[in-house]
Amino acid sequence: MKSMVVYGPKDIRLIEEPMPEPKDDDVITEVKFVGVCGTDKSVYEGTIGYLKTGLMKYPIRLGHEWSGIVCRVGKNVTKFKPGDRVCGDNVVTCGKCENCKSGNYAFCENLRALGSVYTWPGAYTQYMCMPEKHMYKLPDSVKLEYGALIEPAATGLYTAVNGRIKPGCTVVVHGTGLIGLVAAQCAKHLGASTVIVTGRKREKLEVARQLGADYTFSWIEEDVTAAILKVTNNKGADSVLESTGAAQVLCASLEQVKSSGTISVIGSYDTLVDGFDADMMVFKNITLTGLNGCPHMFQPMLNMMAAGQIHMEPMVTDIFPLEQAKEALEKMDQGEKRIKILLEV
């Protein structure tokens, strides 16, 4: 089978690998679509910190956002059969450690992340092998293209759920990537009466408007904090959902959230955050919540997508064939309208 594997910084190659053989509890899926993620790009460029710490080592087969069609199953598999349309988790867990047994599987002591930490071979390939427990059936109304994006979409939901959003509240969402745009939609469904989305590129902010944002502000064109305070009558937002990973945005969030409000953080900063005013956090009684992944959110997100509550169409802006993974990775940050790139296998 064909796979795209990274052997070093900016060294990605199309190779032939043997077909995987399912163990008793495994599902073999013919991959159809793979999302290209910022994590993939940092592994490809060699900038991700895990390479320095030794938690990741080349060669690495990328890809943790994916969907496809089941082609083989192990003898113990009962939930899936050949022909099923599926998507899968971005991690493989042991199911035996204390965290797994308590339901906190995102912190499995033996966790292996697809194309990332303690690497499980990722989905930049024709055929994917995964344990049955990490697979999900796609509802009939959810296209395979959008099924490949369930992981970042579920992360957006997880961010919103942990933002303590209540009916009638005001929510600020920082970021116009897929996670931020889904989080903004989820905020509405959780009861927010006003959703404000911030970003850098006006074209992406227009997509946020199309998806239901009440206000959009550009960090390049205006004083975002002043604009948010004006909309909220100088009180600040009840909840801020931060998905950018930009240190200055996190620091500004302290000014933008109201007293006793919540900041829900899913962004990855890759550095210490200079200028973070901890005293302001204390004096304003702010709850700051750090989030990792999207535990227990895949099925709820699939249900919301099936019900037409989450709209993915405007966010898939490019589709490349698997063989052009290098081009896709290098074009991720180019273009004013580019939000999400998929690889078609």
Look at residue 267 in the predicted model and tell me its pLDDT: 80
Predicted confidence band at 269 (pLDDT cuts at 50, 70, 90)?
A: confident
Once rounded to an integer, what is the mean pLDDT over residues 330-341? Answer: 85
Average model confidence (pLDDT) across the chain: 96
3.40.640.10, 2.60.120.260, 3.40.50.720, 2.60.120.10: CATH of 154-290: 3.40.50.720
Task: Map out the domains of the chain as residue ranges.
Answer: 2-149+312-344, 154-290
Predicted confidence band at 268 (pLDDT cuts at 50, 70, 90)?
A: confident
Domain topology for 2-149+312-344: Quinone Oxidoreductase; Chain A, domain 1 (3.90.180)
Look at residue 337 in the predicted model and tell me its pLDDT: 79
259 Cβ contact partners less than 8 Å away, ≥ 6 residues apart: 236, 284, 285, 286
pLDDT digit string (tens) for 48-58?
888 989 999 99
**Strand 66-73 versus strand 26-36 pairing type:** antiparallel
Sign, CA dihedral 167-170-174-177, equals positive
